Amino acid sequence: WSGFLDDGGDDSVAEADDSPDDSTSATSADTGLGPIASSLAESTDGETRSVDFGRFLDSMDGAPSATLHYLHVDLPHLPFSFLESGQRYPRSDWVPGMDWNSGFWIDDPWYPQQGYQRSLLLIGYIDHLVGMMLDQLESLGMLDETLIVVTSDHGVNFSAGEKRRAITEDTLAALAGVPAFVKYPGQITGMVDTANAQTIDLLPTVVEALGGRVDGLDGRSLIGRDPDVPPTKRLVTLGGDVYTVTTDEYSVLAEAEVEAALSDFPSGEGFEVVYTAAGPRPDLIGRSIDEFTTIDAGGSVSIPDEYNSVDPTGSVVPVAIVAGVHVDDRQFPEFYAVAVNGVIRATISEYKVTDDKASIYAIVPPWSFSPGPNQVEVLGISGTLDSTALIRFS
């Protein structure tokens, strides 16, 4: 491994392209696509970020010379684009409840929570991509001897009434807390290291793991270091502002952030809970609308006509339900239930009210749909947890 840093060797850097623009796409017919990139182009309708990841994997050739393979790809990032299954969904570029100009989430908690929900589903897809990387390294006989680092440049905030990317005491842990997965050459057993670490520590860690010297670098190697040094974390914004907190202060904020996240979506229950625990009334999820008393409130609901021919296992599935609820007297319910084929699959509030219309955006699981035609309904929720009725707008 020290040979990686020697002069005069046949060392190389294989760097895949990075494009944040999800409006462009590649196809399997594009020249220069290897087998993995072609497969991802076909399965994702040419989604640029996925194809870039495929190019990254195709660039690994198992050559004996030491090679640095590097990729910076906008995943997870807006647009959310993917479910955990790798399926895409229409209107995945919509982020209701967030003002694009100011970056603020609305005060209503359910759309910031939905942003977190959609981010978790996208992370599930990224987990699949990382698995593909491990499979590729193993197939080339490179996995055992390869140093792997997976990390992110920043986090994101999903707190109601706060900016998505601005640092405050309430958002610091969400923005500063990023994953750092390091697999050393020859390592076969995983562990969790709770010692203080920062992203600037990754470069000296890579250098030392490959047999080099770490003198003169800003960070410190994670190998054999004092777990309590340094006793602070230093955060630098794009604008150059610097925030410094002690590790104890950061730990308190991080623990609160994790507790809040787990209160929304408990850990260890699989991705089903990411669908079933979301929204203001998760107790209604999975129940038939026939179980409830219904109230006719008049008005109407406008829903796109795109559910007449659904393939729940296809590469694109219409899980994002958008609807406009029209009520003449503007007496809108606080919450709404979204039913697919007579079963409630999501509950949500409105993210915008204009004139006589309340706009909603809900995520339902792909298994809500049957092959072929499906019936999607949006109903209001009335009453209490112990006595709930549904409101029909017709």
Does 270 map to a domain?
A: no
Which secondary structure element, helix H or strand E, spans residue 392, and what is its range?
A: strand 388-392
Q: Write out pLDDT tens, residues 129-168.
A: 999 999 999 999 999 999 999 999 889 999 999 999 888 8
Q: Write out pLDDT tens, residues 205-217.
A: 999 998 888 788 8
What 3-state class would DSSP assign to 5? helix
Looking at the structure, do residues 72 and 166 belong to the same domain, yes or no?
yes
Q: Any idea what the CATH number is for the domain that residue 309 is in?
A: 2.60.40
User: Residue 11 has what pLDDT?
Assistant: 37
Which secondary structure element, helix H or strand E, spans residue 183, and what is its range?
A: strand 180-183
Looking at the structure, do residues 117 and 192 belong to the same domain, yes or no?
yes
User: Residue 268 has what pLDDT?
Assistant: 82
Instruction: Give percent above pLDDT 90 in the chain.
Output: 61
User: Residue 111 has what pLDDT?
Assistant: 96
Closest CA relative to residue 323, chosen from 91, 31, 21: 91
Looking at the structure, do residues 328 and 376 belong to the same domain, yes or no?
yes
Domain boundary among 208, 234, 264: 264
Phi (first) and psi of residue 382, to 5 degrees: -125, 155
Does 272 map to a domain?
A: no
Looking at the structure, do residues 283 and 260 belong to the same domain, yes or no?
no
User: Residue 26 has what pLDDT?
Assistant: 56
Looking at the structure, do residues 301 and 372 belong to the same domain, yes or no?
yes
Looking at the structure, do residues 60 and 151 belong to the same domain, yes or no?
yes
Q: State the pLDDT confidence band at 6, using cuts at 50, 70 and 90.
A: very low
Looking at the structure, do residues 113 and 250 belong to the same domain, yes or no?
yes
Whether 61 contacts 34, CB under 8 Å: no
Residues with Cβ within 8 Å of residue 230, at least 6 apart in sequence: 196, 220
Looking at the structure, do residues 147 and 41 belong to the same domain, yes or no?
yes
Does 51 map to a domain?
A: yes
Q: Write out pLDDT tens, residues 59-80.
A: 998 776 788 899 999 988 888 9
Domain boundary among 264, 292, 319: 264
Looking at the structure, do residues 109 and 23 belong to the same domain, yes or no?
yes
Domain boundary among 264, 295, 329: 264
Q: State the pLDDT confidence band at 231, using cuts at 50, 70 and 90.
A: confident
Looking at the structure, do residues 289 and 384 belong to the same domain, yes or no?
yes
Domains in the chain, number: 2
What 3-state class would DSSP assign to 142? coil
Looking at the structure, do residues 24 and 108 belong to the same domain, yes or no?
yes
Residues with Cβ within 8 Å of residue 260, at least 6 apart in sequence: none
What 3-state class would DSSP assign to 323? strand
Looking at the structure, do residues 125 and 247 belong to the same domain, yes or no?
yes
Q: Which domain holds residue 306?
A: 279-392
User: Residue 65 has what pLDDT?
Assistant: 75
Q: Any idea what the CATH number is for the domain that residue 23 is in?
A: 3.40.720
**Cα–Cα distance for residue pair 176/387, rounded to 1 Å:** 43
